[in-house]
Amino acid sequence: MLNTTKRLENGNLYIELEGRLDTLTAPVFEKELEEILPETRTITLEFAKLEYVSSAGLRTLLTAQQYMEDNDYPKVKVLHVNQVIMDTFELTGFCDMLDIVE
C-alpha cells in the first residue's frame, strides 16, 4: 500500500510517500505524477515514511527524472531515504541520477 500527500505551489511539487512503492502501487503513482508533471518545475519527494522501492518504483522515479532533464529542470530531490532504499539506489546508480538529501 502507498499513501501520498501532494502539494503543488508555483510549479514546485512536493510529495510525501508512505508505505511501499512497488509493482502494485507504482502504476497508480506514475499516473498521478504524469497528470501533474506539465505544471511542475521542481519535484521534491519525502521518503521518511517510505519503506521500500521495487524496480517498478524505480521506473516511476526514472520517468520523473527524465521529464525534468527533458525540460532542463533541476534533478528530482529525494529527502530522508532509509538505508534499504539507499542501498537500492546505490546498486542501481540512482544516487547519481537523483539529488538525494539526508
38: confidence class by pLDDT, cuts 50, 70, 90? very high
For residue 102, what pLDDT is reported?
A: 80
Instruction: Tell me how far CA of residue 46 lies from CA of 34, 70, 71, in angstroms.
Output: 18, 23, 22
Long-range contacts for 88-96 (Cβ within 8 Å, ≥24 apart)? Answer: 88/53, 88/58, 92/58, 94/58, 94/61
| Predicted TM-score of the model (pTM) | 0.95
Task: Calculate mean pLDDT across residues 28-42.
Answer: 96
Count of domains observed in the chain: 1
Q: Is the dihedral of CA 92, 93, 97, 100 positive or negative?
A: positive
Query: Which of 82, 35, 34 is CA-nearest to residue 59?
Result: 34
Which CATH number covers residue 37? 3.30.750.24
- As a whole-number percent, the residues of the chain with pLDDT over 90 amount to 99
Domain holding 11, by residue range, is 2-101
pLDDT tens readout for residues 48-86? 999 999 999 999 999 999 999 999 999 999 999 999 999
Query: Which of 69, 56, 65, 66 is CA-nearest to residue 29?
Result: 56
